[in-house]
Amino acid sequence: MTYTLADLPMLGGLDDGRLRGLEALARRRRYPAGQVLCTEGDPAEHLVVLLDGRVKAGRVSAEGKEVVLAVEAAPVAFDKTALLVDGPHRATRTALTAVEVAYLPRSTVLELVAAEPSVAARLLRTLAATVRDLDERLTDAAVRDVPSRVATWLVRRCAGGRVPLHAGQAGLGAEIGATRVSVNRALRGFERRGLIEIRTRRRIVRRAGARTLEK
């Protein structure tokens, strides 16, 4: 499904006239899987809006190893904080599937936030949710074991009983601060207990209820 700018949470309250104006200023592009949409450290001169497809956010460690921070699906806008403070992109976003994106100039976004209180309020809620999610992930990594973190990850992302692993088990591990080996061990343990079924390396079917899986 291809979304529009109106589907983006921070723009959901705008009237049709304002949305048409944004659409006219946006530069829309389609890219194949593997395309880099923005690079860590580069200036955030545009708000990059994912309208279709899935993207992974990653950073490179001092040893040159990629760390996957998240896998994001449309509709979503990247690096809103960097745009507001005139900073660089905090991660490299790479298309996992064919994608469609829209680029909104930074000046346009800042003018919109200043002129539309509803956009500013929605943006604050979005940023607060991001901070809360990061806080939960850091707490999980500090105090919970790997099976507990894997169970929480599966429950949060379950859709119709199926959980796609778009970045594989290594990507799941990177998101929760664990190695691929420890993630695989946790998943196999759940499978032996009949809580999940690993159909392929890229998809898991959850058989248990949320409470059972997280115990």
What is the value of pTM for the model shown? 0.72
Asked if pLDDT for residue 215 goes beyond 80, the answer is: no
Of 84, 97, 106, 95, give the one whose Cα is nearest residue 38. 95
CA–CA dist 115, 18 (Å, integer): 11
Asked if pLDDT for residue 86 goes beyond 90, the answer is: no
In angstroms, how far apart are the furthest CA atoms of the chain?
A: 56
Residue reference for tokens 């998943």: 187
Asked if pLDDT for residue 202 goes beyond 70, the answer is: no
Asked if pLDDT for residue 94 goes beyond 90, the answer is: yes
Give tens-digit pLDDT for 47-69: 999 999 989 888 887 777 777 77
pLDDT for the residue numbered 160: 61
pLDDT for the residue numbered 149: 87
Q: What is the CA radius of gyration of the chain?
A: 19
pLDDT for the residue numbered 159: 62
Residues 6+ apart with CB under 8 A from 41: 88, 89
pLDDT: which is higher, 202 or 151: 151
Distance between first and last Cα of the chain: 35
- Residue 58 DSSP SS3: strand
